[in-house]
Amino acid sequence: MDRRSFLKNSAVGGAAAAASTLAAPAYAQGRRTLTMVTSVPDGFAVFDDAAVHFVDVVNAMMDGQITIEKRAAGQLVGAFEVFDAVSSGQADIYHSADYYFGGQHPGYYFFTAVPFGATGGEMTSWYHHGGGKELHDELGEIFNLKSFFCGNTGHQPGGWFNKEINTAADLQGLKFRMPGIGGLALGRTGASIQNIPGGEIYQALASGAIDGAEWIGPFADERLGFQEICEFYYTSGMHEPGSVLSAAFNRDVWNEMTPAQQAICETAAYATHEWSLSQSNYNNGAALARLQSQGVKVMQFSDEIWDAFGVASDEALNEFMGDELFARIRASQEEAAQSVFNWTSISDEVFTRQRNRIKAG
């Protein structure tokens, strides 16, 4: 039995059962309502903002032909159950970070972020011009999904800690929230990794269940109030240099749309991706200044930490190289990121450094 048939005829690890109360797509006089499930609560900066923006753009452009109704994490299915709900046809669309679903296929890690991987700009270049979109679609076909980039958090910080992290030895036994390949790599350094949904991080920190956590960036982290619990904030992370959010349609639902409707959804997703990345980049600087004014200590990891994480990241990625599709996705993204960097390192980076030097002088 292939994967698609299995999903349609099983409980999908309990997620389908949880989603069984979802209504089938509603039709009324040629109009249709689709349910989109998400992985964060309502109001979460950047992550939910992108979901709301996508829904608003699609609904406005559809002019009533199709209406998307958003359901936050826990309203219909759990934060990490959205993939199975849409894959099996119990919901129509999900908005999430695809690396949550690396257990379905490790190739999905690359469609959010991997350690020492592509930045936000490099991800976009790879996706539209380096074969990333086609690989995302190839992966989606396995699971009855049609996926698109639909948000980007930008470079994510190393995270919040309740103590300074000066050497690799300080990671030993540290209970830390980090998903994806980054979490797998950090676990190899001796940390105890917890994959906690975004809506549960604050309570886990406050209760002492974890010693630290990474989330999105100053703008989003400030809204969640992590500064009320943790004193040390490491602002340059190696685990997620340009984290993508995705909108994924059940492929049967997607195929029932007209070409014009499909074009609207795809265009809205890419518009949201650009809008989201600019939102993070614009707001993070001011948010960081506010955090510092509240006593947060902004830190940077030592070279020793970077080196230890680099070794662990290669080991974590290499564990999946026996999967042919994973290997192709990795090679494609790494080649594209290097190609973009070969230019930006001698153009954008030189310019911004000189611009800031001159203006500061």
The mean pLDDT value for 268-276 works out to 98
Domain limits for position 253: 3-152+242-281
The mean pLDDT value for 163-168 works out to 95
Residue 22 forms part of a structural domain: yes
Tell whether the model's pLDDT for residue 234 goes beyond 60. yes
| Residue 10: band (very low, low, confident or very high) from pLDDT cuts 50, 70, 90 | very low
| Residue 30: band (very low, low, confident or very high) from pLDDT cuts 50, 70, 90 | low
Tell whether the model's pLDDT for residue 259 goes beyond 50. yes
| Residue 16: band (very low, low, confident or very high) from pLDDT cuts 50, 70, 90 | very low
The mean pLDDT value for 41-66 works out to 98
SS3 of residue 309 by DSSP: helix
The mean pLDDT value for 182-209 works out to 96
Asked if residues 198 and 207 have their Cβ atoms less than 8 Å apart, the reply is no
Residue 62 forms part of a structural domain: yes
Alpha carbon of 51 to those of 22, 57, 72, 262, 266: distances in Å? 19, 10, 10, 17, 14
Within a 10 A sphere around the Cβ of 190, how many other Cβ atoms? 15
Domain with residue 90: its CATH number is: 3.40.190.170
Q: Name the residue type at position 347.
A: S
Q: What is the pLDDT of residues 295-328, one digit of tens each?
A: 999 999 999 999 999 999 999 999 999 999 999 9
| Residue 29: band (very low, low, confident or very high) from pLDDT cuts 50, 70, 90 | low
Alpha carbon of 333 to those of 132, 148, 155, 338, 359: distances in Å? 7, 16, 17, 9, 35
- For residue 130, the model assigns a pLDDT of 98
Copy the structure tokens of residue 28: 């009324």
* Total number of domains constituting the chain: 1
Within a 10 A sphere around the Cβ of 329, how many other Cβ atoms? 26
- For residue 273, the model assigns a pLDDT of 98
Residue 37 forms part of a structural domain: yes
Tell whether the model's pLDDT for residue 42 goes beyond 70. yes
> Cα–Cα distance between 329 and 338 in angstroms, integer?
14
Residue 356 forms part of a structural domain: no
Residue 64 forms part of a structural domain: yes
Residue 93 forms part of a structural domain: yes
Residue 202 forms part of a structural domain: no
Residue 124 forms part of a structural domain: yes
Copy the structure tokens of residue 94: 């999900």
- For residue 1, the model assigns a pLDDT of 35
Residue 212 φ/ψ, nearest 5 degrees: -175, 170
